[in-house]
Amino acid sequence: MDSAEQEAFEATIAADSTIEPRDWMPEEYRRTLIRQIAQHAHSEIIGMQPEGNWIGRAPTLARKAILLAKVQDEAGHGLYLYAAAETLGVSRDDLERRLLDGRQKYSSIFNYPTLTWADVGAIGWLVDGAAIVNQVPLCRCSYGPYARAMIRICKEESFHQRQGFDILYTLTRGTDEQRAMAQDAVDRWWYPSLAMFGPPDAISTHTERSMAWRIKRFSNDHLRQKFVDMIVPQAEVLGVRLPDPALRFNAKTGHWEFTPPDYDELFAVISGRGPANRQRLTHRRTAYEEGAWVREAAVAYAAKAAARAASQSSGTAGPPRAPAVPDEVA
């Protein structure tokens, strides 16, 4: 390691500037980012499943169109993030394989099932809400491509949270049955959403170094508190009860006190023992395998079109050709 390079890296971090792809960086900084960005990308991709489950059963055409747009955004988020990870010298194919064979993780939250339509509302409101709290500070992360991807993502996330809130708001203004359905969804998604912020600071392994490198700006517990403070007043407007008897406002600190999530459950779900882990990965593997012929056909078509174009330009000049567009996507 060249100490001048190390110094330049540290000076850039200290100046609150960004590290860019071709800059020198410590191997551990690179590895940490690859792991974090890949895990984040995988979460966006796997995260399409719980909500995708309801696209065909949305109660109205408008709700269906909105949910479709939301899930499409999540696909986009995954792709922005894979692209950011690739600037660190890994390939998307390789990351995808690491997800499929279980070497890389994704957020524990997506291993819970979506049992009713109200779950789609609870996910938008709580899960996307927690994602926003987690992600806004990442817009100022020290790695340029990651920070830029996060800016795009955060712009799109606020629509996600609002559409979820809107679903619940409509339900809580409906029949007794609909209100009960909304409450049941909130009861089931509250603690898993709190767990999205990760283990408590006292046992969080990478926090300190990530904060020194400005990959992370705030600790898990700080962000979890911020989330609770944001959600409690919104729950009041919705007319749903958060399932925590210990929830109370502390006038001295200005924060809401709450019962932390069950971290043993979090670790169990992360290590593969959640209610839907098997289903999520199996679905993803099947989609990957069944899509193989499309990827191969597109490459074969591109090669054929390129060969045709080459032989045409070397032969006698014919009439100008329109750009090649495969019929099935035209």
Partner 1 sequence: MSWPLWEVFVRPGRGLAHTHVGSLHAPDAEMALRHARDLYTRRGEGVSIWVVPAAAITASSPDEKDPFFAPAADKIYRHPTFYPVPEGVEQL
Q: Which residues bind Fe ion (CB under 5 A)?
A: 44, 74, 77, 128, 157, 160
Contact of residue 329 among Fe ion, partner 1, none (CB under 5-8 Å per partner type): partner 1
Q: What Cα–Cα distance (Å) separates residue 8 from each residue in 143, 146, 210, 217, 287? A: 14, 20, 18, 21, 44
- Minimum CB separation of residue 134 from Fe ion in Å reads 11
Which CB, 42 or 77, lies closer to Fe ion? 77
CB of 195 to partner 1, least distance (A): 30
Under rule CB under 8 A, residue 157 binds partner 1: no
User: Binding residue for partner 1 (CB under 8 A) from 92, 179, 217, 283?
Assistant: 92
| Residue span binding partner 1 (CB under 8 A) among the ranges 91-99, 127-135, 238-246, 271-279 | 91-99
The nearest distance, CB 306 to partner 1, in angstroms, is: 7
For partner 1, the binding residue among 7, 28, 101, 296 (CB under 8 A) is 296
**Type of residue numbered 267:** F
Residue whose CB is less far from partner 1, 30 or 206: 30
SS3 labels along 50-91: HHHCCHHHCCCHHHHHHHHHHHHHHHHHHHHHHHHHHCCCCC
End-to-end alpha-carbon separation of the chain, Å? 52
Task: Show the binding pattern over residues 64-83: x = contacts partner 1 (CB under 8 A), - = does not.
Answer: --------xx--x--xx--x
Burial zone of 151 (CB within 10 Å; 0-12 exposed, 13-18 middle, 19+ buried): middle
Q: Is 248 helix (H, G, I), strand (E, B) or coil?
A: strand
> By CB under 8 A, is residue 1 in contact with partner 1?
no
Closest distance of CB 52 from partner 1, Å: 17
CB 269 within 8 A of CB 263: no
Question: How many residues in the shown chain lie near partner 1 by CB under 8 A?
Answer: 33
| 177 burial via Cβ count (<10 Å: 0-12, 13-18, 19+) | exposed
Contact 161, 98 (CB under 8 A): no
Total count of residues recorded for the chain:
330
Shorter beta-carbon distance to partner 1: residue 151 or 230: 151
Judged by CB under 8 A, does residue 305 bind partner 1?
A: yes
- Residue 160: name its binding partner from partner 1, Fe ion, none (Cβ under 5 to 8 Å by kind): Fe ion
**Residue 73 neighbours by CB under 8 Å, 6+ apart:** 156, 159, 160
Distance in angstroms (rounded) separating the CA atoms of residues 4 and 311: 52
Q: Which residue lies nearer to Fe ion by CB, 12 or 43?
A: 43
Our CB check for partner 1 shows the closer of 211 and 299 to be 299
User: Nearest CA to 106 among 38, 34, 157?
Assistant: 38
Listed in sequence order, the residues at least 6 apart from 176 whose beta carbon sits closer than 8 Å to its beta carbon are none
Contact call for residue 295 and partner 1 (CB under 8 A) = yes
Cβ 283 to Fe ion shortest distance, Å: 18
- Please calculate the CA angle 177-114-128 and round it to the nearest 5 degrees: 100
Pick from Fe ion, partner 1, none: which does 22 bind, CB < 5 to 8 A by kind?
partner 1
Shorter beta-carbon distance to partner 1: residue 80 or 169: 80
Which residues make up the interface to partner 1 (CB under 8 A)? 20, 22-24, 72-73, 76, 79-80, 83-84, 86, 91-93, 148-149, 152, 156, 292, 295-296, 298-299, 301-302, 305-306, 323-326, 329
